[in-house]
Amino acid sequence: MTLLSLNIDWILLIEKLALIAIVVFASLGIALYTTFGERKVAAILQDRPGPNRAGPFGLLQPLADGVKMFTKEDIIPSSASKWLFILGPGLAMTASLMTCAVIPWGGTIELFGRTISLQIADINIGILYIFAVVSLGVYGIMIGGWASNNKFSLMAALRGASQAISYELAMGLSLIAVLMLSGSLSLGDIVKQQQAGWWNIVYQPLGFLIFFICALAECNRTPFDLPEAENELNFGYHQEYSSMKLGFYLFAEYINMIMSSAVMASLYFGGYDIPFVNDAELQTHLGNWVALFQVGTLLIKIVFFIFLFMWIRWTIPRFRYDQLMNLGWKSMIPLALVNMLVTGALVLLKMNNWHF
Amino acid sequence: MEALTSRAKAVDRKPMTFLERLYLWNILKGMIITFSHIFKKKPTIQYPEVKRPFSPVFRGLHVLNRDEEGRERCTACGLCAVACPAEAITMEAAERLPGEENLYREEKYAAKYEINMLRCIFCGLCEEACPKDAIYLSETFAPANFNRKGFVYGKDNLLIPNPTTQPEATAKAKGLN
Ligand code: SF4
Ligand code: SF4
């Protein structure tokens, strides 16, 4: 009775739950096909046709992979710490899925007389939330590597943690420049500002570059896939994993990729903003369809970034560990700092009525 | 000292500049190279559907030939086994009985003729040694098998189908269709 008398907006709750379900399942579905895309892109860049046997054009390949993963024997090494061993992949997966809560997937739609925002939670500290969750993702690697009770996995976990910490710094610094421009920590606001004016990439090309490189590092994608390093660490932190636990780790990587692409698109490329079109004006003509187009636009941007991720992966080899640290601490952070200072100075000048 | 090749390049051990340490330009160059590969022709052959033709001098699985009347040509002289560097061929001879003239061309024939395909190196010396033109190397290869015994090919595997009674199968074995 107490719950009901609290005057909860039940419809809002249902609406959000539906949105969460849609977003999570859509992310999973896209991630499934990202694995397929990865193999196809790799193949095409290497003059091969890629998987083409399962279904038309090999489109059922991800399902076949899934069935394979599920039917493999699930091994927990006898010397592993059992609970942590199970917790690791779960944590990696949860952390990567949690990011999707604050990403604005589209504008608003009118349904049954309600205005529904296509963002699960427009919290005013959206960016900080993303940062917190991304940092949690490292725990997946750490715990997995530690619980395996294996020297190589432990090494990989150490590498993963130090890499993530180093690159999070530069990432944060490059973000501050964007935040200074927008004056808001809410992703929804940042996108709306870009809809009104230019995209942030125009003001922050260097910031975007730094952010992008750091995103590569955060997702453990080549050239920063040192925690996996199959030729030196035998696949690193997921060496002892098999079956669906391994699948979760691999899957989390792809979901991370999608989410970081979405964040990059939202921060620097106008999010769901349809380029060269005044969205607000369109909405008066087309109504709900605009939201759909906006989601489509965001998806196209995401796909572009994912392709960029893959393209880089299949082009360049992995960094050496010292190169990685040098790049992070001696190049990325100074550059991000300079970028931040210059942006700050310009913002201040503009506030004091300078014209340029 | 004269360079050994015109493409020799001195190793540059200058410390990298800041821009070089960012790696960006070189990575971009690499990405352009990989991108250009998207438009390259793929040399893949979709194997079970499309087969790559063998070269005309390909030496594959052996066949034991028959003559125009469908009689086995081999006379079990053993010259192929002697010629074989891998000692892959064994055979047992038998004498042709009256009434078997339509089966065997010579008075002596191979009752048992075996080639161990795991030993054979497909050199084709047996083909060259044979005085009766009885053994030939075809343009197929030994399919995979689960046990070693499966690779010892007897007469039932080697002998070409009879051209008078099974002309189609013979043509197929010769790769004529
Ligand atoms: S091809 Fe060469 S190795 Fe093979 S059976 Fe004939 S002679 Fe022996
Ligand atoms: S195949 Fe030729 S060489 Fe070998 S035993 Fe028969 S006739 Fe002689």
Per domain, the residue ranges of chain B are 62-174
Distance in angstroms (rounded) separating the CA atoms of residues A29 and A36: 11
Mean pLDDT of B116-136: 90
Q: State the smallest CA–CA distance between residue A260 and chain B in angstroms.
A: 20
DSSP track, B98-121: TT-TTTBSSSEEEEEEEEETTT--
Residues of B in contact with A311 (CB under 8 A): 31, 34-35
Q: What are the structure tokens assigned to A311, written together? A: 């393209």
CB atoms within 10 A of CB A228: 26
- Distance of CA B88 from the midpoint of ligand 1 (Å): 6
Contact A316, B27 (CB under 8 A): yes
Per-residue b or e along A326-351, where b marks 16 or more CB atoms closer than 10 Å to that residue's CB: ebbeebbbebbbebbeebeebeeeee
What integer pLDDT is reported at residue A270 of this predicted model? 80
Domain positions in chain A: 72-351
CB contact under 8 A, A45 and B34: yes
Contact A194, A273 (CB under 8 A): yes
pTM of the model: 0.76
CB contact under 8 A, A315 and B33: yes
What integer pLDDT is reported at residue B90 of this predicted model? 92
Binding site membership of B74 for ligand 2 (Cβ less than 6 Å): yes
What integer pLDDT is reported at residue A85 of this predicted model? 86
CB contact under 8 A, A326 and B42: no
For chain A, 356 residues long, the average pLDDT of each consecutive 10-residue run is 59 81 85 87 87 83 87 83 85 85 77 72 81 82 84 84 86 87 82 80 84 86 76 75 84 86 86 73 71 84 90 86 84 89 87 73
Distance in angstroms (rounded) separating the CA atoms of residues A42 and A35: 11
What integer pLDDT is reported at residue B56 of this predicted model? 82
- The CATH code that applies to domain B62-174 is 3.30.70.3270
Report how many Cβ contacts below 8 Å link chain A to chain B. 41
Binding site membership of B123 for ligand 1 (Cβ less than 6 Å): yes
Q: Express the helix, strand and coil content of chain A in percent, nearest 5 each.
A: 70, 0, 25
Give the CB-side neighbour count of residue B15, counting CA atoms within 13 A.
1
pLDDT of B177 above 50: no
Q: Is the reported ipTM for this assembly greater than 0.90?
A: no
- The best mutation among B91, B107, B132 to test binding of ligand 2, ranked by most ligand atoms within 8 Å of the C-beta, falls on B132
Residue in B26, B28, B31, B46 to test binding to A, most A beta-carbons within 10 Å: B31
Nearest to A98 by CA among A318, A296, A259: A259
Q: Express the helix, strand and coil content of chain B in percent, nearest 5 each.
A: 25, 15, 60
Q: State the smallest CA–CA distance between residue B46 and chain A in angstroms.
A: 9
What is the tens place of the pLDDT at every residue in B51-99?
888 888 888 888 888 888 888 888 999 999 999 999 999 999 999 888 8
Ligand nearest to the CA of B116: 1
The residue written with tokens 């349904």 in the block is: A111
What are the backbone angles phi and psi of residue B113, rounded to the nearest 5°?
Answer: -145, 115
The pLDDT confidence band at residue B129, using thresholds 50, 70 and 90, is very high
- Kindly give, in sequence order, each residue whose CB lies less than 8 Å from that of residue B41, ignoring residues fewer than 6 positions away: A47
What integer pLDDT is reported at residue A1 of this predicted model? 42
Q: Residue A239: helix, strand or coil by DSSP?
A: coil
Mean pLDDT of B9-19: 79
Binding site membership of B84 for ligand 1 (Cβ less than 6 Å): yes
Mean pLDDT of B29-56: 85
| Closest ligand 2 atom number to CA of residue B129 | 3
What integer pLDDT is reported at residue A251 of this predicted model? 85
Q: State the smallest CA–CA distance between residue A141 and chain B in angstroms.
A: 27
Residues of B in contact with A327 (CB under 8 A): 21-23
Compute the Cα dihedral for B144, B145, B151, B157 and give only its sign.
negative
Pick from B35, B42, B44: which is nearest to A311 by CB?
B35
What integer pLDDT is reported at residue B79 of this predicted model? 92
Pick from B27, B33, B38: which is nearest to A44 by CB?
B38
Binding site membership of B117 for ligand 2 (Cβ less than 6 Å): no
Assess B37–A contact: CB distance below 8 Å, yes or no: yes
What are the backbone angles phi and psi of residue A213, rounded to the nearest 5°?
Answer: -60, -40
- The best mutation among B71, B87, B91, B135 to test binding of ligand 2, ranked by most ligand atoms within 8 Å of the C-beta, falls on B135
Q: What angle do CA A28, A30, A32 make, to 5 degrees?
A: 70
What integer pLDDT is reported at residue B114 of this predicted model? 92
